[in-house]
Structure 1
Amino acid sequence: MKRTTLSLFAGATALAAVTGFAAVSAPGDTGSDTTEPAATLPVERTGLLCPAPSNSDLAETSYTSFTPVTEGADEKGTAALEAATAESEGEKGGKGEEKGDKGEKSGDKADEPVVQPKEPGTPATGKTSGADTPALIGTAAGSHAPGWTVQQTTEVAAGTGRGLLGLNCTAPDTEFWFPGASTAAGRTDYVHLTNPDDSAAVVDIELYGKDGALKSTVGEGITVAPNSSESLLLSTLSDVNEADVTVHVGVRSGRLGAAVQALDDRTGGDWLTAAADPASELVLPGIPEDATSVRLVLFTPGGSDADLKVRLASPSGLITPAGHETVHVKAGMTTGVDLGEVTRGEAGSLVLTPTSGSVPVVAAVRVVRGKGGEQESAFIPASDPVAARATSADNRAKSTTLSIAAPDRAAKVKVTASSGTEGGTTATKTFTIKGGTTQNVEAPVPAGLKGTYALTVETVSGGPAYASRTLTGEDDDVAAFTVQTLPDDRGMVSVPKAEEDLSVLQQ
């Protein structure tokens, strides 16, 4: 996450190279000021990484791919998802000979794409089952690149981590923070690392508990082979049992996709995706209104303690949870706070602000729905705002709840439902969210819907808006659910104005 600026600069440089030679001026050059504002253009290439969905033979996984239509994007483009199954030449040859001896065709799950992305504006879906579904490496270019989103949703009928597990496949990066993991008894948490490049990546994994860093030597210098994926059980990285753990993934060389799969014996499981970059003010949007337990987990990576004011943006405004007005986070230590049934039957988002001094913090909440043997859990990390546009790819009639928060000023947002994967026409609604509130909006549904559909949220005016989508299981008697935050899709990039100046070739 620390290298986002560098990635955008590289993209801008590539675009400048395509459009012509940029004029170069030294600081001491004289002449009139011809500086022009940067142009905002659609990105030309996007990469996404999806971790291996489950190690359960009962797992049923669906993938939904969607690219919103973007004005100014290339007319043509491509998108593809391929299995992250790097093998040596010897391994490939050995497998080929074995299949030849048996008279079989040389094809398996790793050879066939699980989903074939369609043209922008139309979602596409594919399904797979079992424990041997590999991680996926995706690349989109041209018209398919701006805002490309892939949702991975897995249903596990029984066993540890049973329930509904979902995540938006993520872009490769070099640093990730995961507050909310655990090495406690009853929890089985894995960190999944996926390398999309043709060279190996080297990564360090650090764990932090309530008393600071957990001792571990096996988390240093982990090598992830090219075009491959690895999953590491957190309890093998440290033998300390901790209820609340913050996982830090730092890439020494290369880049990776990273996510934590958190499985619980009693309350099911879900994916814990990376929290927004450390910041002094954080928003965790869209806690389900019927949450029976909400646990806030925080960590500050700097050398200073943090004191934060805790507020809930409810439908009627900002309120302070009784008994949890503030939280103190010690430097380098993970802090967990049990907020109970904080939403009390209404939509809500947590808003964290410093009481004094700005100290960067990362945060996530673990949410539980249901009671007794029908409990299910999910995670909501601190999120970046929707900004220009964000997309949720996998939505289903009567099973989708869209939550939008405007923690500061009022925000006006436009929500567009795409056509369905098997039919239906687009629909659009506009909502105004009052400042300091969270609203579960009545999101549009495609007319004549068949299959699943995508929701695209765009900020029209006002203050920053934060959003999340809750997807519930089809069985009304079970509390199965998953929540995905909706930060900006990074479909647009700011490119400095450039003019052709061939004189630079003579310098």
Structure 2
Amino acid sequence: MNRTTLSLIAGATALAAVTGFAALTTPDASGAGAAKAAVQLPVERTTLVCPTPSTSDIADTSYTSFTPVTRGTDGSGKAELRSAAEASDTGTGSSPGAETGKGENKGGAGAKTAGKPVLQPKAPGTPVTGDVSGADAPALVGTAEGRFAPGWTLQETTEVAAGTGRGLLGVNCTAPDTEFWFPGASTAPARSDYLHLTNPDDSAAVVDIDLYGKDGALKSTVADGITVQPHATEPVLLSTLADTPQDDLTVHVRVRSGRVGAAVQALDDQLGGDWLAASADPADSLVLPGIPKDATAVKLIAFTPGDADADLKVRLASPSGLITPAGHETVHVKGGMTTAVDLGDVTRGEAGSLVLTSSSPSVPVIAALRVVRGKSGRQETAFIPATSPVATRATSADNSGKGSSLSLTAPTGTAQVKVTASAGSEGGTATSKTYTVKAGTTQDVAPPVPAGLKGTYALTVERVSGGPLYAARTLASEHEGVPGFTIQTLPDDRGMVSVPEADQDLSVLQR
């Protein structure tokens, strides 16, 4: 994952970092003095990557952009979403001034482009949407600066009426990074899973792909050293990387040089399809929020890197508290091997979230769920990867007045949560509601809707107080009796960054 690096530079401006600029006071010869405590300031630049939505001629795709209003930003800035081929990296990772004290979120691809943007928001607090149809829609790269950067969220939602992977497919456009884990992929005959790699920058990225099945790592000579050209995307059909079909796979993406955005499009001949987003980093405790109450089949896919095995304690955070699913009290995960467990209708008519705890803190795991709704012949699939908690704020960009539901989970301690529905993209007045989520429970709520809503709206989830909070949003729409749905987890938006508050000390030049 990305690492923040501080470098001391002799001169009037002493400290430059990915998160901004500041000057550092060093201790004197006696050892007295120290740098001041860090302050939280809004990020100044955010880059997001949206994968190619579909190869279907009958696909209809919508993009929704939203930035919540953030205190501490000035009135300047802009945001736009363009074809990856049109985006150009300016190389300006930070603002050129020690006095700004502000930072950058998840990299800094700028935008020197030609032509009309797909989206160009006018102001924070109101979503903006754009639509495309057919199989020719490209991968997109978005850049937000200034007041548009903190918490900027992009949602890509596609409806496909028929064919492999038909249904509702949704994904939050992701920040480019250098490592991703995808438990839940497959090379089974009924599946067509594509790993989409998109490079937003001016230099080529070199990527290695590791596949892990039920017996361990799969041998492949074509998965190493894949070059993704600047401002280009590479859809990699996973079945071409393995000699034998695997029902359940874990995909590990490692970037040798550069950075990419990555997501897996999982398409099934019978069960529809959806996007599989990357799992949270390996950890000894995981939460997978937002299992719908009418889920007819739930499969857990887990993997632990390295050679050590892990025994996972499995619990369901239900509306009434933590319960242990009968027959699935624990799951044994062998080191370096993908383990899949069918949990059936684990929710039994009540929405819930899965809570996994490793018996050994030294053995971290990653995990995801494949969720199926509907009956035979009219089924649809979505995925829920393990996610990080909402430390301060998270946002869901694309919501309608009827098809959205919000899952809020507090696995260890009661949490107070404020949910704000933004103004609509074409009109409406923002509104908020506060919820109390008791320890060990999941609340599945119909979120607030803006008064006089026209168009789509965004939901902003803020943890006001209490224990850790996890969230997910389900978007649903039915087509000819098939219950299309897609689930996006809502990790913290990282709209604020810690920046050391410091003073100049020119005496360093004399040492």
Amino acid at match of 2:244: V
CA contact (8 A) 1:86 1:228 kept: no
Is 1:138 aligned to 2:142, yes or no? yes
The structure with the greater share of residues assigned to helix is 1
CA contact (8 A) 1:83 1:111 kept: no
Amino acid at match of 1:138: G
State the secondary structure of the residue aligned to 1:236. helix
The structure with the greater share of residues assigned to strand is 2
Equivalence for 1:3: 2
Amino acid at match of 1:466: Y
Question: Once the 2 structures are TM-superposed, how far is the Cα of residue 169 of structure 1 from its aligned partner?
Answer: 0.2
Equivalence for 1:431: 435
Is 1:407 aligned to 2:411, yes or no? yes
Is 1:199 aligned to 2:209, yes or no? no
Amino acid at match of 1:349: S
Counterpart Cα distance in 1 of 2:436 and 2:16? 34
Question: Once the 2 structures are TM-superposed, how far is the Cα of residue 349 of structure 1 from its aligned partner?
Answer: 0.2
Counterpart Cα distance in 1 of 2:142 and 2:507? 41
State the secondary structure of the residue aligned to 1:421. coil
Is 1:309 aligned to 2:308, yes or no? no
Equivalence for 2:46: 46
Question: Once the 2 structures are TM-superposed, how far is the Cα of residue 372 of structure 1 from its aligned partner?
Answer: 1.5
Question: Once the 2 structures are TM-superposed, how far is the Cα of residue 444 of structure 1 from its aligned partner?
Answer: 1.0
Equivalence for 1:21: 23
Question: Once the 2 structures are TM-superposed, how far is the Cα of residue 306 of structure 1 from its aligned partner?
Answer: 0.5
Equivalence for 1:174: 178
State the secondary structure of the residue aligned to 1:489. coil
CA contact (8 A) 1:23 1:504 kept: no
Equivalence for 1:441: 445
Taking structure 1 as the reference length, the TM-score comes to 0.91
CA contact (8 A) 2:80 2:118 kept: no
Q: Which moved more, 1:269-278 or 1:299-308?
A: 299-308
Counterpart Cα distance in 1 of 2:180 and 2:20? 30
Is 1:278 aligned to 2:276, yes or no? no
Matched ranges for 1:216-295 at <5 A: 216-295=220-299
For this pair of structures, how many residues does the alignment match? 479
The structure-2 alpha-carbon separation of the partners of 1:476 and 1:444, relative to structure 1 and needing over 3 Å to count, comes to farther
Equivalence for 1:36: 36
Deviations 1:258-288 (A, max 9, x none): 0000000000000000000000100000101
Question: Once the 2 structures are TM-superposed, how far is the Cα of residue 505 of structure 1 from its aligned partner?
Answer: 4.3
Counterpart Cα distance in 2 of 1:344 and 1:14? 47
Counterpart Cα distance in 2 of 1:439 and 1:134? 37
CA contact (8 A) 2:429 2:451 kept: yes
Q: Give the counterpart of 1:350 among 329, 351, 354.
A: 354
Amino acid at match of 2:170: G
Deviations 1:393-419 (A, max 9, x none): 000011000000000001111100000
Is 1:160 aligned to 2:159, yes or no? no
CA contact (8 A) 1:16 1:22 kept: no
Matched ranges for 1:282-431 at <5 A: 282-431=286-435
Question: Once the 2 structures are TM-superposed, how far is the Cα of residue 432 of structure 1 from its aligned partner?
Answer: 0.8
Is 1:485 aligned to 2:489, yes or no? yes
Mark the runs of 5 or more structure 1 residues left unpaired by the alignment. 88-109
State the secondary structure of the residue aligned to 2:363. coil
State the secondary structure of the residue aligned to 2:17. helix
Question: Once the 2 structures are TM-superposed, how far is the Cα of residue 215 of structure 1 from its aligned partner?
Answer: 1.2
CA contact (8 A) 1:21 1:502 kept: no
Counterpart Cα distance in 1 of 2:284 and 2:35? 34
CA contact (8 A) 1:86 1:225 kept: no
Counterpart Cα distance in 1 of 2:4 and 2:363? 21
Counterpart Cα distance in 1 of 2:234 and 2:6? 24
Is 1:472 aligned to 2:476, yes or no? yes
State the secondary structure of the residue aligned to 2:240. helix
CA contact (8 A) 2:358 2:365 kept: no
Amino acid at match of 1:21: A
Deviations 1:136-173 (A, max 9, x none): 01111100000000000000000000000000000010
State the secondary structure of the residue aligned to 1:504. helix
Question: Once the 2 structures are TM-superposed, how far is the Cα of residue 37 of structure 1 from its aligned partner?
Answer: 2.0
Counterpart Cα distance in 2 of 1:166 and 1:4? 28
Equivalence for 2:108: none
Equivalence for 1:101: none
Equivalence for 1:119: 123
Deviations 1:364-392 (A, max 9, x none): 00000001221000000000001110000
Counterpart Cα distance in 1 of 2:148 and 2:312? 41
CA RMSD of aligned residues (A): 1.9
The structure-2 alpha-carbon separation of the partners of 1:7 and 1:68, relative to structure 1 and needing over 3 Å to count, comes to farther
Amino acid at match of 1:48: L
Deviations 1:428-458 (A, max 9, x none): 0111100000001232110000000000001
Equivalence for 2:103: none
Question: Once the 2 structures are TM-superposed, how far is the Cα of residue 15 of structure 1 from its aligned partner?
Answer: 5.7
CA contact (8 A) 1:309 1:354 kept: yes
Counterpart Cα distance in 2 of 1:250 and 1:239? 21
Amino acid at match of 1:39: V
Taking structure 2 as the reference length, the TM-score comes to 0.91
CA contact (8 A) 2:27 2:34 kept: no
The structure-2 alpha-carbon separation of the partners of 1:137 and 1:8, relative to structure 1 and needing over 3 Å to count, comes to farther
Counterpart Cα distance in 2 of 1:261 and 1:138? 20
Counterpart Cα distance in 2 of 1:4 and 1:67? 25
The structure-2 alpha-carbon separation of the partners of 1:52 and 1:427, relative to structure 1 and needing over 3 Å to count, comes to same
State the secondary structure of the residue aligned to 1:370. strand
Equivalence for 1:80: 80
Counterpart Cα distance in 2 of 1:8 and 1:156? 49
CA contact (8 A) 1:16 1:498 kept: no
Amino acid at match of 1:342: V
